[in-house]
Amino acid sequence: MATQKTKAKSITKSKAAPSKAKAKAKTKPKANARAGTKTVAVKKKGAGGGKRSATGKESAAKTATAKEPAAKPAAAKARVVRRSEPSVKVKVSAKKPLPREFLMGLAEAIKEVVAPAARALKGREITGTAVSGDTTFELDTLAEKALLNYLSAQRAPVAYYSEDAGYSTFSSAQPSHLLVVDPIDGTRAAKNAFEGCVVSIASTRVIERPVMSNVETACVAELLNDRVFYAERGSGARMYEEGHLRRPKVSQNTNLETMSWAMTVPARPAELIFPTAARLIDLSSLKGGFFACNSTSYSVTRLLTGQLDACVDFAGRYLKDIPNQVRDYFINAGRGAVLGAAPYDMAAALLIAQEAGCSVTDAYGKTFDNVLLLDSSEANHQSIIAAANTEMHDKLLSFLDTRIKQFEQLLKRRSG
């Protein structure tokens, strides 16, 4: 009997033998299988790949949100999305950190939805404003839905915190782990199909007031390329390209004149940050390279690829030092809101960079260990100086510290 060849990755087989007329016809496999059928899933290639089913329906209800979880986060209500056939079932233990496969599977699920839309220049429509005050695009909405679908399909004891949804849980069971997710870090790059956009995922335990040092595992995945970064605290950082493990390439350059570096610019007052960095830009832009940054997580992970020697975001220091003199600058740049580097936005990338041996502090030279992880309020906005090595970091810190102090004195005199 002649066999029938199809190009479908998932095929549905019925127990009953097909008629001769149906055997001759080339038909597409149906998405919903009847009772008594089985689904053959094919494992997708790649670092975060998993099994995809040809069956399943998705539904969603409202998700409870909050800036910070209450003292008993398990009591929070959440949107529960049911899936008849979970895509990638990963075993989660309450006694161990969330496994690498779980984080990378989530990143891949978001990427599968967002990347095609970004490449087609779709999802540019503004749909609202996030809790932080940042603009929300249709791409952000697509990414958030992919996040919800993946976590619901896993049915794991996991809660999550994101910019748009706040704090949410997925079952009545006590959650043991908390995911801190930015489904698209660098939405402005994504909506214009530029590669500087990533999925950022950090994981910690469910505790009352987690801080940055409580982050156990982290994953940053490029949305438009096949590179993924992963780290577990105390175990080093890993980098994957098209599913293959690669060794991080951390720069040893210590010369500011040949430094390749990036500075974060969205909603940072240009009247403050560019005069502060002007001499450094002039010094390095010819023999090194200066790049405007739209995603902190993307720029920080470039330290592991060897593409950048450093990246900085020092605007938040001005707001802490002289709020009365600079607040109007920030409100103007944020179109009515004061925006900055929120901890959830950079938690994953910072752990990855630290585990790779990079030097990372705020613009005062302090660590982020005691910074509240889920507090995205204006008072908890951070500054960053990240460099591939300690000597480069110290040179940048010295230069920027001096220049910021000089400019602050000038602004104080101007304000009378």
First to last CA, the chain: 93
Q: Evaluate whether 87 touches 39 at the Cβ level (below 8 Å).
A: no
Instruction: Indicate the pTM of the whole model.
Output: 0.76
Q: pLDDT (tens digit, 0 to 9) for every residue of the chain, 416 residues total?
A: 444 333 333 333 333 344 443 333 444 433 333 333 333 333 333 333 433 333 333 333 333 333 344 333 333 333 333 333 445 577 777 778 888 999 999 999 999 999 999 999 988 887 666 655 677 778 888 999 999 899 888 888 889 998 777 788 776 778 899 999 999 999 889 999 999 999 999 999 999 899 999 999 999 999 999 999 999 999 999 999 998 999 999 999 999 999 999 999 999 999 999 999 999 999 999 999 999 988 999 999 999 999 999 999 999 999 999 999 999 999 999 989 999 999 998 999 999 999 999 999 999 999 999 999 999 899 999 999 999 999 999 999 999 999 999 999 999 998 87
Q: What are the start-end ranges of the H helices in 11-80?
A: 20-24
* Cα dihedral 69/375/232/189 (nearest 10): 120
Angle, helices 270-284/390-415, rounded to nearest 10 degrees: 140
pLDDT value, residue 19: 40
pLDDT value, residue 128: 67
Report the C-alpha gap between 110 and 166 in whole angstroms.
18
Where exactly are the structural domains of the chain?
73-82+93-246, 256-415
pLDDT value, residue 124: 81
Q: Please indicate whether the domains covering 73-82+93-246 and 256-415 agree at the CATH topology level.
A: no
pLDDT value, residue 309: 98
Q: Which two tokens stand for residue 259?
A: 């430094």
Task: Find where tokens 């605007």 sit.
Answer: 315
Strand positions, DSSP E, 242-367: 244-246, 260-264, 289-293, 310-313, 359-361
Report the C-alpha gap between 18 and 21 in whole angstroms.
8
**Which run of H or E residues covers position 62?**
none
- What DSSP character marks residue 11? E
pLDDT value, residue 36: 37
pLDDT tens digits, 12-52:
333 334 444 333 344 443 333 333 333 333 333 333 343 33
Contacts of 27 (CB under 8 A, 6+ apart): none
pLDDT value, residue 271: 95
The yes/no answer on whether domain 73-82+93-246 falls in CATH 3.40.50.300 is no
Report the C-alpha gap between 146 and 140 in whole angstroms.
10
Domain 256-415 CATH class label: alpha beta
pLDDT value, residue 67: 39
pLDDT value, residue 304: 98
